[in-house]
Amino acid sequence: MCISNKIGPPVEGDDFFGRGKEIRNANRLLDRNHSLLLSAPRRIGKSSLAKRLIEEKQNQGWKCVYIDLEETTTEDGFLRLVVEAFKKNGIWKQLTEGMSKGLASVLDRIEKVSFGGIDFDIRIREEQEDLYKNLKELIKHDEDTLIVVDELTLFLGILNKRENGAEKVAFILNWLRSLRQVSKTKVRWLFCGSVGLRNFTSAMNLGYTINDLTEFGLDELTREEAIGLLTGLCKSEDMEMSENLVYYTLDKLHWNIPYFIQLIFSKLVEMYDGAISKESIDAAYNRLCSENFLNTWSERLSEYREYEAPARQILKSLSTQPAGMERNAMLDILMTGQGAAKIEEVDYTLSKVLEMLENDGYILKKDSIRAFRSPLLRDYWFNKFVQ
Ligand SMILES: Nc1ncnc2c1ncn2[C@@H]1O[C@H](COP(=O)(O)OP(=O)(O)O)[C@@H](O)[C@H]1O
Ligand SMILES: [Mg+2]
């Protein structure tokens, strides 16, 4: 079997490439009973890595669960996903003789939920607390288990905007924390998110609910891995690509996240006429910049709400300055047309915007200079919004 060109969804099995160091590191931490927090920009490869870890841990005999919170926007939905995923993977206890009536009745309701039957009624506060408490006691804490919760912050962010949102968010985070605090538990958690959970919780004074998690980073591939991925993709399509051209492509991308390598490769395949040259690589790259593949990077700025407009101003200017810009030059841009009295406010906005753009992988700070992290993204931005 060999790798195939996949663009967008998480990759699994033979399509997963590299990440050796990160996997070893994660395994080591999980084996030592750590629960992990993986925060990285979208499309870096978080979900793929999480799924690979699940594969490895399953092979070692662990029970594993993958819950994708991108699939829900309500608390009911959250509960349903958790209950069903735990049921499917044997995380809940079985009915036993000595079990209390409360637990037995919750188990009964779990059966109904997973057959598409009745929902839990969590509108009444006491019932809800009771239910979550019972669910906690139903988890088998004595078996090696890995539970991946993907896109937690995205979900909490949506919940937060609902009626009593802050309270709901606090409740869920505290519940998840209480599950990790069960004495001698062998259940480990991996929370993935493209929106920083640390920023989110600290802004809501809920930092304490995640301070037991070990931070885990993910960035571009190592040079060797990037070479291996591109070479492997070429092999899978029987395409010849010399070592020098592989280097040329990776240098051109500069930020070697697997997604961008997969993207440019898909263009090379489309245009392939028996040989790859520098010219065809340039043409593939230019096509990526001028087509819509990178639109999500623009669209998701709408999540910045009041910071969207200044973020766009900054990115637009940066797209014209490959060498990057000093902070003061960016402040000048945001101050254009504003009275001098506004400077403090605008300065704060700039700090906020720069932090968000850095966290989300748009830009990089080196010494006092900020620049686009990826030339591909910069050229796309220039094409789309300046030229
Ligand atoms: N280890 C990997 N090997 C090959 N391709 C990958 C790998 N990780 C990510 N990708 C590429 O990136 C895309 C997005 O990966 P994904 O795991 O969904 O990222 P995230 O969860 O961070 O948004 C995939 O569709 C694939 O093209
Ligand atoms: Mg993902």
Q: What is the pTM of this model?
A: 0.91
State if residue 8 touches ligand 1 by the CB under 6 angstroms criterion.
yes
Same domain, 131 and 40: yes
State if residue 18 touches ligand 1 by the CB under 6 angstroms criterion.
yes
Hey, whose CA ends up nearest to atom 23 of ligand 1?
43
The enclosing domain of 89 has a CATH number of 3.40.50.300
Q: Is the pLDDT of residue 200 over 90?
A: no
So what's the pLDDT on residue 123? 64
Which residue among 42, 48, 194 has the greatest number of ligand 1 atoms within 8 angstroms of its CB, and so is best to mutate? 48
Among 258, 290, 322, the domain boundary falls at: 290
User: Beta partners for 92?
Assistant: 139
The residue ranking higher by pLDDT, 312 or 116, is 312
Same domain, 227 and 200: no
So what's the pLDDT on residue 121? 62
Percent of the chain with pLDDT over 70: 96
What single string gives the DSSP state of each residue in 200-259? Answer: HHHHTT-GGGGTTSEEE---SPPHHHHHHHHHHHHHHTT----HHHHHHHHHHH-S--HH
Which residue among 2, 43, 51 has the greatest number of ligand 1 atoms within 8 angstroms of its CB, and so is best to mutate? 43
Nearest ligand for residue 360 CA: 1
Among 169, 192, 216, the domain boundary falls at: 216
Which residue among 11, 218, 261 has the greatest number of ligand 1 atoms within 8 angstroms of its CB, and so is best to mutate? 11
The per-residue pLDDT for range 304-348, each reduced to its tens digit, is 888 999 999 999 999 999 999 999 999 999 999 999 999 999 999
Domain-located, residue 9: no
State if residue 310 touches ligand 1 by the CB under 6 angstroms criterion.
no
SS3 63: strand
State if residue 16 touches ligand 1 by the CB under 6 angstroms criterion.
yes
So what's the pLDDT on residue 128? 76
Residue of 27, 30, 1, 26 whose CA lies nearest to 14: 1
Residue of 313, 42, 78, 69 whose CA lies nearest to 196: 42
HEC per residue, 115-142: CCCCCCCCCCHHHHHHHHHHHHHHECCC
Same domain, 130 and 204: yes
**Do the beta carbons of residue 277 and residue 245 sit within 8 Å?**
yes
Same domain, 197 and 333: no
Q: Is the pLDDT of residue 114 over 80?
A: no
Nearest ligand for residue 8 CA: 1
Phi and psi angles of residue 109, each rounded to the nearest 5 degrees, phi first: -70, -35
What single string gives the DSSP state of each residue in 263-290? Answer: HHHHHHHHH-SS---HHHHHHHHHHHHH
Mean per-residue pLDDT, 12-19: 95
The per-residue pLDDT for range 234-269, each reduced to its tens digit, is 999 999 999 999 999 999 999 999 999 999 999 999
Burial status of residue 308 (CB atoms within 10 A of its CB: 0-12, 13-18, 19 or more): middle
Among 290, 305, 332, the domain boundary falls at: 290
Task: Please give the structure tokens belonging to residue 288.
Answer: 């990526």
State if residue 266 touches ligand 1 by the CB under 6 angstroms criterion.
no
Q: Point out the ligand 1 atom lying closest to the alpha carbon of residue 19.
A: 1
CB burial of 191-213 (b: ≥16 within 10 Å; e: otherwise) equals: bbbbbbbbebbeebebeebbeeb
The per-residue pLDDT for range 275-312, each reduced to its tens digit, is 999 999 999 999 999 988 899 899 989 888 889 999 99
So what's the pLDDT on residue 119? 59
Domain-located, residue 72: yes
The enclosing domain of 372 has a CATH number of 1.10.10
Hey, whose CA ends up nearest to atom 27 of ligand 1?
7
Domain-located, residue 5: no
Residues in Cβ contact with 302 at an 8 Å cutoff, skipping those fewer than 6 apart: 308
Same domain, 299 and 281: no
Same domain, 267 and 251: yes
Hey, whose CA ends up nearest to atom 25 of ligand 1?
8
Same domain, 103 and 193: yes
Domain-located, residue 14: no
When pLDDT is cut at 50, 70 and 90, the band that residue 116 belongs to is low
When pLDDT is cut at 50, 70 and 90, the band that residue 76 belongs to is confident
Sign of the four-CA dihedral 286, 358, 214, 64: negative
Q: Point out the ligand 1 atom lying closest to the alpha carbon of residue 50.
A: 17
Q: Is the pLDDT of residue 95 over 80?
A: no
Distance 41 CA to ligand 1 centre (A): 11
Cα 263 to Cα 286: distance, rounded to the nearest angstrom? 12
So what's the pLDDT on residue 235? 95
The per-residue pLDDT for range 153-189, each reduced to its tens digit, is 989 999 999 989 999 999 999 999 999 999 999 999 9
When pLDDT is cut at 50, 70 and 90, the band that residue 117 belongs to is low
The per-residue pLDDT for range 121-130, each reduced to its tens digit, is 666 677 778 7
Mean per-residue pLDDT, 73-100: 83
Same domain, 276 and 311: no
Chain mean pLDDT for the chain: 91
So what's the pLDDT on residue 302? 86
Domain-located, residue 377: yes
Domain region containing 118: 19-216
Distance 131 CA to ligand 2 centre (A): 29
Mean per-residue pLDDT, 100-109: 75
Q: Is the pLDDT of residue 118 over 60?
A: no
Nearest ligand for residue 18 CA: 1
Q: What are all long-range contacts of 283-289, with beta carbons under 8 Å and residues at least 24 apart?
A: 285/252, 285/253, 285/376, 285/379, 288/263, 288/264, 288/376, 288/380, 289/376, 289/379, 289/380, 289/382, 289/383
The CA-CA-CA angle for residues 94, 98, 104, to 5°, reads 50
State if residue 10 touches ligand 1 by the CB under 6 angstroms criterion.
yes
So what's the pLDDT on residue 261? 97
State if residue 262 touches ligand 1 by the CB under 6 angstroms criterion.
yes
Burial status of residue 362 (CB atoms within 10 A of its CB: 0-12, 13-18, 19 or more): buried
State if residue 11 touches ligand 1 by the CB under 6 angstroms criterion.
yes
Same domain, 259 and 185: no
Distance 345 CA to ligand 2 centre (A): 34
The residue ranking higher by pLDDT, 82 or 326, is 326
Same domain, 33 and 159: yes
Please count the structural domains in the chain: 3
Same domain, 201 and 98: yes
Domain-located, residue 201: yes
Distance 10 CA to ligand 1 centre (A): 5
Which residue among 21, 22, 259 has the greatest number of ligand 1 atoms within 8 angstroms of its CB, and so is best to mutate? 259
Q: What are all long-range contacts of 22-26, with beta carbons under 8 Å and residues at least 24 apart?
A: 22/49, 22/216, 22/218, 23/49, 23/52, 23/53, 23/56, 25/216, 26/53, 26/190, 26/216
**Do the beta carbons of residue 374 and residue 255 sit within 8 Å?**
yes
Q: Point out the ligand 1 atom lying closest to the alpha carbon of residue 192.
A: 21
Q: Point out the ligand 1 atom lying closest to the alpha carbon of residue 41.
A: 22
The residue ranking higher by pLDDT, 154 or 62, is 62
